Amino acid sequence: MDLFEAIERRHSVRQYTPQPIDRATIEKIIAAGLHAPSACNFQPCEFIVVTEPAQRKRIAEVAEYGQFIATAGLCIAVFCKAGKWNLEDGSAATQNILLAATALGLASCWVGGDNPHCQQGIPHVLSVPAGYKLVSLIAIGHTNTDTTSPPRRPLSEVLHWEKW
């Protein structure tokens, strides 16, 4: 799939089928995350892939707005070594992962991790050592749903040439 097609096709899906995702596909998706830019090329991201249903259920119980993680094929928790740019670095990796999943025909949804509830609960569930910050939880799976993104603001409204 062409990059622009993946960008246009990507949208948040919150309903998944139980079909599993094979290891080679998952590794390809994580490699896309690793190819994202990072400040000073520190490459601070760590990716925890959670396929096991009981563990996904525990994550869903902590992530108030990510209940559907319990029914997705997998969840990727993106952590970054705590530092000045962990949110930017982790977000760049997260977007690459969403686009890679789309290009591979999978549905996904970004669940924000930078909130007190997730910052406290998710590292505990996933046995993450001190010094790492959760940036996002990404639900990925197969879907039967036929949803699309909400409409975007028109280009003419957001595009400024040379100055505001």
Ligand X SMILES: Cc1cc2nc3c(=O)[nH]c(=O)nc-3n(C[C@H](O)[C@H](O)[C@H](O)COP(=O)(O)O)c2cc1C
The CA distance from 147 to 123, in Å, is 32
Contact between 71 and ligand X by CB under 6 A: the answer reads no
CB of 142 closer than 8 Å to CB of 19: yes
Contact between 142 and ligand X by CB under 6 A: the answer reads no
Contact between 149 and ligand X by CB under 6 A: the answer reads yes
Task: Tell me which residue of 122, 118, 94, 129 sits closest to 108, measured CA to CA.
Answer: 94
Contact between 66 and ligand X by CB under 6 A: the answer reads yes
Contact between 145 and ligand X by CB under 6 A: the answer reads no
11, 28, 81, 142: which one binds ligand X (CB under 6 A):
11
Contact between 56 and ligand X by CB under 6 A: the answer reads no
The pair of structure tokens assigned to 51 is: 């396929």
Stretch that binds ligand X, among 8-16, 27-35, 36-44, 54-62 (CB under 6 A): 8-16
Residue 145, exposed/middle/buried by CB under 10 A (0-12, 13-18, 19+)? exposed
CB of 31 closer than 8 Å to CB of 37: no
Contact between 119 and ligand X by CB under 6 A: the answer reads no
Kindly list the residues in this chain that would bind ligand X in the complex (CB under 6 A). Answer: 11-12, 14, 65-66, 109-112, 149-150
